[in-house]
Every structure is written in structure tokens, then in C-alpha cells.
Structure 1
């Protein structure tokens, strides 16, 4: 009841501010823009991130920047109701979103076009990942100096054993399952056929999706699109000749092309395409975000982003730290307004012990309120172990899922130390007291002990997944041993419950709590941490650990930014692997 007078006062102030601005907006309505400019760049979140109330510094987005998929959808629905508005200009610059978010953006544009409005897409340079978004427009424009980097998808799998051997380092790892190919990065001189086939299966799916999107958007056959991809990349002139873009228009000439300025007219000032904020200043009664008497249903979002490792906030780099995630889960459970929890997982795996701690915390929350796990990039190995604690698992069609398996080992630097003239004398009290040293490899007895530990960890992994998925360990074992699936294939074998988008997953989580709502609030608990130095990672990667990591995640061009091509250097992915090997402390018996 105490909320009611404050809400009434707040809404009264909003009403007064709106009414006082009506005369000014009426005067400005004569200059209401016919096109509104939006700029798609980077990786906008699904929902608007709430900024701290008191925040000094920081980089603010440009007025035309799309700050979230949800806000973009709301803006276009508002514009679609204005009969005087012709459409929008969509500027695409450095867009790097996962396929699921790209599909969400395409759906927003399709809804706007279905309302009879026009979408004109423009870019200076566009890449393979972002070009399908431009294909969802009525007209595709390119700057005269621009390029269309439509070349398809590639991935680089790496084998370091020979290179490590040349500097005097040998990798000693024990794994469970032929498909658990993560240690092959360090133990094999060449990339195995299993690893290559796994990566190729994902390339096939992504390539087919790309061909279909371009064929529909540019009204071409699949064969024509495949032929064009094989001819890429394209200069601006070649892109027009190939029908990939409709015209070449400089940014300064966009108003003329859209009919906002007559060609040949001389103006002292250059005509600018206006953003949404300028458009709203010309609407007599713009939409007002009234404070509700009754709050919207709330969904708590807990991200598990990065390589999974033990630790608390401030002790790790680009990792999902167990202490941080567990703390966030507890806070979500205490939030009485949060009717459900969505666990957003973007992780190739990590330390087995840390993932089990997270799993236990997820299971505790799930006993109080529904927990739904969602992934649109990577949810593999230890990341998938965390997901099975949820009531349901949802995935995007092309997410990397599975890789149920473990490995353990260490790096031996005896030859390197000898070359550097470093002498070590190993003194022992206890048969296995030197199992962690990098001065030598494993003794036969140490190797047998490690194999037993890996087998024990693997069986525990199977048991966790079997309980979470309502299957037997034998059934899960047939799908495990490191096998990796796309979201679609994971749904087919029962590792995923549903294929869908982020918004649908959140609404379904509310429905599990018996709350039916089209609109809801999303509150995030926890956040990924900053990077740590590569030197620290390298220095820490010398002792025995037990891991559940998926190599396909980094072979496909990176699980962090989801740049599914060859532009991301292989050593960037390697630094993340070494990050896990150096920082994560697994199940040590």
C-alpha cells in the first residue's frame, strides 16, 4: 500500500512534464522526419541493461544506436503506427551477434515491414555474419568505397604438440572418450579426423542457414547464392553487379536517395537523418513510461559466461567464477519478486569441481522457483553440467551443446629447463608427492591413479546429466564421451528440451511458475569479469587439473564474441584454453 502514493506522485509529474511540452512538440511536428535512423553495431543485449544510478564517466551510445533487441522492437512498433512515417534507415556497422540474436533482429524488421513500412539498410562494409540482417531490408545500399565480405564460414583447428616439443615442453593428459578432443590441442602433432568432422558438421549447418537467408532476402536460388559466396569478397562495384546490393550511395547522399532532399538543391547545412529521440520531439503526445500500480512479473537472469573456474569476483579474468555465480544464484533465489530464474550459459566448460558447485546451487534454487537454462552460443562440457540442474533446457538452433566428458593432465618442461640451463633436484616423501611437478612426466603408478580419477569424474558427470535429464547413465554415455551437438541435434537426442529465442524462453520460465504475462521485467544478477594477463595463464598451466572443456567452441572461431570465421587468431582461443588450464582447479583426489 505504501507504493500507491509514490506511484501516483511519480505519474503526476510525468503527466505535467508531458503536457508542458505539448506546445513545443506541436510546433516541431511540421518537421517530423519521414525516415528514422537506427544503427546496429556490436552485440546489443536482448534486454536493456540497467545502468547504475550514479555513474561517472563511461562511454555513452550514439543517439541512433540500438541498445537492445527489446527496445528496437518497441521503437519499430511505435513507428509503425505513424501514417506519416515512410520507414527507417538501418545502418549496419561492425555487427557481431550470434545467429539466434540475428534471427531475432530479422523478425523485428519483418514485423515492421508487414505493417507497410519500408526498411532501407546501409553499410560501409558488411561481413558474412551481418549480411543476412541487411537482406531482411526492402533495399540494400552500400557506400561507394564499401565492401561486402560474403565469403562463407571457416574454422581453424590447431595442434600444438610438435611446436611445444621443439621448445622442450611435453603434454601429459588422460581423457575419457575418443570425442573428448580438447587435450589433442597439446598432445597431437596434427588435427584428428574426429575433431575435423565435428567442426565440419557445424560449418554445414551455419552455411546452409546463410544460403537460405541470402536466397530469401535477395530473391535468388540457393545455387546462385552458393556461386556468389564462392566469388567473394566483393568490392562495391562488383556487389552491385552481382545483385548483393541495390545501389551505391554515400552517407551524405542518403537524404537525396530517400527523397528527403531534391537532387541539385543547394543547402548551407547538410541534411541529417534523425534518430528516434528527435522523432519523439515532434510527436505531440509521445509514449510515456508510466509507473505501474502493480509491478510486472520479474525474471531473474544469472549469466554463466566464460570458462568455468573456482574463485570469487576479482580473482579471475574472462571466466565464470563459481563463487560469483553461486552468490548470484542465491540472490536470485532471495528475490521475492522474481518468479523464475533464467540461467544464460555461454561457456565452453572448465573446471569440474567449479561446475559441480554451480550445479548444486542451481538445484537449490530450482527447489524454490523454476529455473530454465538458455544458450545461444556455447553450452558445453562443464557448462552443460551446470545447465542440467535447471527444470528445462532451451537452446538456439546452432548453439554448441554437449561435449560430456573430462580430461586431466599437466605439462612437462624438463627439456626446456635443460636447454635453459636450469637444474632441479627432486626430493620426495610420498610415492605420489611429485605428481604435480613439471620437471618430469607421470610414473606408471601416477598415470594409473590419474586414469582412475578421470573415470570417476566422468561417471559422476554421467550421473548428474542422467538425473537432470531423467535418463539412465548408460543412455547418457551413448551420447557422451565428448560428442558435440548443435542445438537442433541436441534436441533430437534429448539433451535439450526446446529450440527457441531468448524472449520465448523467459516467458516459458514464467509459465513454469504459473505466471502468464506478455510483458515482464528482467533483472541480472552477477556479471562476467575482466581479462587477466596471458603471462599469468602460461605460468599457471603447469600442474595437474581435471577439466571438462570443449575444443569445438574455440575451433569455430571463438565462444566469446561468436565471430564464426577465420578472422579471430587461433592464439586468442588458445589464451582462453590456457586460462582454464592455469586458473581452474578441478577435482583433485
Structure 2
């Protein structure tokens, strides 16, 4: 059940014996490797914690390779290897416009900090400029190089919600939400005309925390003051000399000028001499090459460097103990046909529990919640795993509602300051389309075998008894949610309940209130498992993370996962918790009516939804 190995121990031993005569040549080649100097790394727009390798044949399709995200796990290994190599002077990171969340962006900054703490320079190059997220990442570098015609759009952060109750009323449709408690606002955009005060309060607190992180990142730049940071956001758009004067940029360069620009920024670093321009025939040159006029710093591929640093000449005779990584990604759906869903998670949790080589687990959560029943089933598997081995949860961009529910039993919870978590509550919503049906000439006749058999029909309102039935069910689910969190946190229900009530917290605020134990990235969660693992001290330092992932059957969505992003956007995930078959609806509607797509997708999901209780949050995108 652990990561499959093709060679058994006897075959590995024979292979090592056959390779042994070549080892002196291998060792000599490594000793004679020239000085590294600077590494060049090009990040992809999408970031993920771990990235599975492409199938062999897919590697020959350039479009698929380009769509692969940058793995933060590989970035951390690169930072550690470069930090330990005295020949590495610095790393040049080319940063495109990012399509990722704030927690993963913070993971890139953590890798920069590892390099800088080791005395290495980090330079970020933004050929196309960027916005808030790119500025946040770049501010963690030693120097920032901007494309000559690129612009920084430092506009600050905003959250925008569109309320469609009036529009739905004109269509003859209304939505009746049932939520526990006042901060559980997942359905309010369809049920209200304006933002509720609890929603305004929790969004305001979240926005304040995230903006504070961005301000702190900029304030850490050389010669930056709080007044200069305020001036950056007041200016909005910064380019050219204005960007340098504002302190958000140190130099400009095109791609072919990076080597000489680094030489100017770091004059003490070794350089390679610029080639001389050739002369054609006798006398003055008739034509000059485009060679740089100044000495430049040599750049070496970061991927090649990491592959060489991690290469092992001999095969390991035995598999080492490892720390398993179990991912809970996207909306939590009770759907066995979903390849990212409950079936995958169950398999991984059970495999970790049964494999003696797995000494502990990091539960990697990036989910806004979903089905209450599915969340409870995953929670049960985490409890069973915890009885056998240490479990530490790590929250990425979002681990809220059902995402927090599944992590509640963990021995410890780690989150980034900019993670979004909490939302401990439950929500249901009911669609009433009686007026719409009448407008289009639809007449409904109902035959019932019991008084409440048609209580979910959109053709009629609920009576008082049916509302009481729903309220009782929601109260029970909410009380159980709070109780499980209290047990997992080792605190009383009276302490946890005021922190619950459906409220969303930033990772930093959650840590202040005891809903999170430590702030940091995946490496902090991994170190926590390694510290708790029951292994000899001699093996503790050699533990490595291994992602436990069930291999899909042929035709089980494998090709689709290569062609489609592996991590759905928050908009899709938030919509997906509202009913069966909704992801297709959300994607189609978003393309046609982007301003109100999430709300419409939720409503359409309610029409066909088979479940009515959801652990979901109602937070708009942060821009």
C-alpha cells in the first residue's frame, strides 16, 4: 500500500553490485562539476502542494507539460538543497501572473525565507508585472526586477457579493435558507437584497487580516515605511521610474538582459565575460552581434541542479519509514463516482492506518466543505487513524466548514496566517418556484402517502410543522459539529460554541482563539508529525512525505484530470456543495453569466439536490 517500487530487495542488491565499478567515474564527475553561481527558476501560474508526475506518454505532449502546476514540495526541496550548497549564490525566480490562493503564495515566500536565512540572494523577475498576489510574493525577495513596460497594480484587496433576491422575485422564485448560526451565510446572496451585518463583520475581519499581511510584506522591503506603503496603494498603478521611487522595484530588464542586470545588482558576484563582437573581413566591423555589452552573471537551470543534488547512485535496499500525506481537496461530495471525492480519501486514510511503514500522517485540507454526511464519514476514518498513528492537519487556502470538520480530531492543526478556516455550522436552503411555475402555465398535482412526503417540492411553502422538522435536524447537526470540535480541541463546548456559529476566521485569528495550534506551512505540519512519530531518533531525520493516492482505473477520469485543472476554483467548489451534478452547471453558467454565476449555480443545484444539509461557507473571492 505504500508507494509502489519496481525493484525488490534482491534485485536492487544485484543492480548495485553491477553498478559499483562505475561509481569512481560517477564520484569524479560530481567533484569536477563547475561552480554553480546563480539558479534560474520559472514558476507556473498555478501552484499546488504536491504534483503527481505525468504518465510516460503524456510527457511528450507539450501542452500537458505546460499546464502542470509548480509543486511547493519541490520548491522547498530546491530551497533546502541550494541553502546547503556553498556554490549557490542566489536564485532568480521568474514569476508569472498567479492563479492560486494566498496560502500557497505564502508557501513561496516561506521558500524565499529559507534561502535568505542561509545567506542566498533571491531575485524575483516579473516580465508582465502583477497585482496584489504577485506583489505579496515578490516582496519576500532580496531584489525585484520588473519588465520595462510592465505595471504593478497595487490596488489593495476587495470582496464583492451580488445579491439576487429581487431578480429572482421578478422571475417568480424565492429561496428560504435554514442556517446555524448567524454567520453561516452560504445562501444569503440568493435570500437577501443586501449584505447581513454578521457577513459584513466576518468579511471585514478577514479582509483586515489579509491586507495586514500584504502591508507587512511590503513594509519589510528596504527603506519602506508605513507612509510609503500607503502611498503605494494610493497610486494604484506603478511602472517605470515611479515603481523604483515607490520602493516596489529595484531594476528593469528584458529576458535577455537578466544576466547583466544581476551583475549590476550584485557586483561582487563572479561573472562571465561578455563575448566580443565578431569582425567580418578587414577594417571596422560591418555588423555587430547582439551580445551583451557588459559582463553578466551565469544562470543555471534550477531543475537540473535539484535533480543532481537529489540523485542517488545506488538503489536503497529497503524502503524507509515515511510520513503519509492524505489530501482532502475541493468540495466534499458523497458521490462514489467522483474521483477526487470520498472514495479516494477513504482509501488513503485506511492505507495509512494499515501500512506499518507509515509512521504518521499529514492531513492536507483545501476544501470549503460540502456534504454533512460525507464530512462525518471522513471524520470517522481520521479518528480511527489517530488511534494508531499521529495525525496533524495542515490547512491550505481554505479549510472551512466541512473542511474543518474532517480535521477536528487531528492531534494538531497547522495553518498559514492567510488561510481561511472556521465556518463551524450547518446550512440548508429551499427553493420556492410556485409563482414561476404559474407564470409558465405549469399546474402541479401531488399525491402523498404521508403528511410531509412532498416537503421539498418547489411548488409549495413549508408549513410550521415542516419548518420545525428542519430546525430540529439542523440543531442536531450543529450541536454534534460543535461537540466534535470541542473534543478534538480538548476544550469544553461552552468555550467552542461562541467561536463557532458559522463564523469564518483567518488562520491568524483562528490561532489566537485556539482553533489552530501553529502557524506555518506544510513543513511545520510535517515536522510536527516527525516529532510525534514512534521511530528511533536515528530514523527521524530521514523521514520523507509520501502522498497516498489510489491509482484510478482506466477510463476513470484520468485523461480528464490531465486536461482539466486538478484543483477547482473556489467559485466552483462553493457552488458544488448545493446539489448533485452541480459542477457542470456551475461551469456552464459561469461562462455565460459570470457576474451572477455562483448564485445561479447554487439555485439550479437546489432544484436537483438530493441532500439538504451542508457544511459550507459563503465567502466571495478575494481580489
Report the TM range for the smaller structure's normalisation: 0.7 to 0.9
Q: Do residues 386 (structure 1) and 406 (structure 2) align?
A: yes
Contact 2:579 2:611 survives alignment (8 Å)? no
CA deviation digits over 1:484-513, x for unaligned, max 9?
Answer: 222222222222222232112122123223
**1:418 equivalent in structure 2:** 438
Change (3 A) 1:20 1:137: same
Q: What residue is the counterpart of 1:158 in the other structure?
A: 162
Q: CA deviation at 1:39?
A: 0.9
Structure 1 segment 176-325 matched on structure 2, within 5 A: 176-259=180-263, 260=272, 262=274, 265=277, 266-267=288-289, 273-276=299-302, 288=312, 290-312=314-336, 314-315=337-338, 321-325=341-345
- In 2, the alpha carbon distance for the partners of 1:263 and 1:44 equals 38
| 1:524 paired residue number | 547
Report the 3-state secondary structure (helix = DSSP H, G, I; strand = E; otherwise coil) of the residue aligned with 1:309: coil
Q: Is 1:87 the equivalent of 2:113?
A: no
Q: Deviations over 1:262-296 (max 9, x none)?
A: 49845478999541356689x9x995364334533
Are the aligned partners of 1:410 and 1:542 in contact in 2 as well (CA < 8 Å)?
Answer: no
Distance 1:498 1:28 in 2: 41
Question: What's the offset of the Cα at 1:148?
Answer: 1.1
Secondary structure of 2:147's counterpart equals: strand
- Aligned equivalent of 2:476: 456
| 1:27-52 per-position Cα deviation (integer Å, ceiling 9, x unaligned) | 984xx664321112234334463555
CA distance in 1: counterparts of 2:610 and 2:531, whole angstroms: 37
d(CA) in 2 for partners of 1:126 and 1:47?
Answer: 25
The answer (yes or no) to whether the contact 2:48–2:69 under 8 Å persists in 1 is no
Q: Residues 374-403 of structure 1: CA distance to partner in whole angstroms, max 9, x if unpaired?
A: 102222112211111222222222222221
- Aligned CA distance change for structure 1 residues 13 and 106 (closer, same or farther; 3 Å): farther
Change (3 A) 1:292 1:45: farther
CA RMSD across the alignment: 3.9
141-150 or 258-267: bigger deviation: 258-267
User: How far 1:17 moved relative to its partner?
Assistant: 6.2
Question: In 2, Cα distance between the equivalents of 1:136 and 1:166?
Answer: 50
For 2:603 and 2:364, how far apart are their aligned partners in 1? 24
Q: Distance in 2 between matches of 1:459 and 1:280?
A: 50
- In structure 2, relative to structure 1, the CA distance for the partners of 1:264 and 1:122 (3 Å cut) is farther
Structure 2 portions without partners, runs of 5+: 1-6, 264-271, 278-287, 581-585, 587-592, 615-623
Any idea what the Cα deviations from partners look like across 1:139-165, whole Å, max 9, x if unmatched? 211111211122221111332212221
Where 2:148 maps in the other structure, the secondary structure is strand
One of 362, 370, 376 as aligned partner of 2:396:
376
Q: Which residue of 2 aligns with 1:497?
A: 517
8 Å contact kept, 1:96–1:129: no
480-489 or 355-364, which deviates more: 480-489
Residue 580 of structure 1 deviates from its aligned partner by: 7.2
Structure-2 change in CA distance of 1:85 and 1:395 (3 Å): closer
Q: CA deviation at 1:305?
A: 1.2
- The answer to whether the 8 A contact 1:354-1:586 is kept is no
Contact 1:308 1:584 in 2 (8 A): no
Matched with 1:405 is: 425
Q: How does 1:548-563 map to 2 (within 5 A)?
A: none
- C-alpha displacement at 1:243, in angstroms? 2.8
Distance between the aligned counterparts of 1:346 and 1:42, measured in 2? 18
Alignment coverage as a number of residue pairs: 554
User: In the TM superposition, what whole-angstrom CA distance separates every residue of 1:412-434 from its partner, at most 9, and x where no partner exists?
Assistant: 11222222233322333321011
Partner SS, residue 233 of structure 1 = strand
Corresponding residue SS for 1:205 = helix
Q: CA deviation at 1:244?
A: 1.6
- What's the secondary structure of 1:308's corresponding residue? coil
Give the aligned partner of residue 551 of structure 1.
none
2:141 is matched with which residue: 116, 125, 137?
137
For 1:69, the equivalent position in structure 2 comes to 72
The 1-side partners of 2:182 and 2:236 are apart by 37
Matched, 1:436 2:456: yes
Shift of 1:372: 1.7
SS at match of 1:453: helix
Please tell me whether residue 119 in structure 1 is matched to residue 122 in structure 2.
yes
Gaps of 5+ in 1: 544-553, 555-567
Question: Secondary structure of the equivalent of 2:194?
Answer: coil
**Secondary structure, in 3 states, of the residue corresponding to 1:95?**
coil
* Pair 1:503–1:77, CA change in 2 (3 A): closer
**How high is the TM-score relative to the length of structure 1?**
0.82
Which residue of 2 is the match for residue 169 of structure 1? 173
**Alpha-carbon distance in 2 for matches of 1:410, 1:221:** 51
Q: Counterpart in 2 of 1:363?
A: 383
Q: Tell me whether 17-26 or 473-482 shows the greater mean CA deviation.
A: 17-26
User: In structure 2, how many angstroms separate the alpha carbons of the residues matched to 1:497 and 1:26?
Assistant: 45
Q: Structure 2 vs 1, CA of residues 13 and 62 (structure 1 numbering), >3 Å: closer, same or farther?
A: farther
CA distance 1:408–1:85, shift in 2 (3 Å): closer
Contact 1:412 1:439 in 2 (8 A): yes
More displaced 10-residue stretch of structure 1: 322-331 or 209-218: 322-331
SS in 2 for 1:36: strand
**How many angstroms apart in 2 are the aligned matches of 1:540 and 1:154?**
24
2:611 to 580, 585, 589: 585
Report Cα offsets for 1:149-192 as digits up to 9, x if no partner.
22221111332212221222111222222122222122111111
Q: CA deviation at 1:445?
A: 2.0
Tell me the secondary structure at the aligned position of residue 534 of structure 2: coil
Q: 1:195 to 1:16 in 2, by over 3 A?
A: farther
Q: 1:263 to 1:219 in 2, by over 3 A?
A: farther
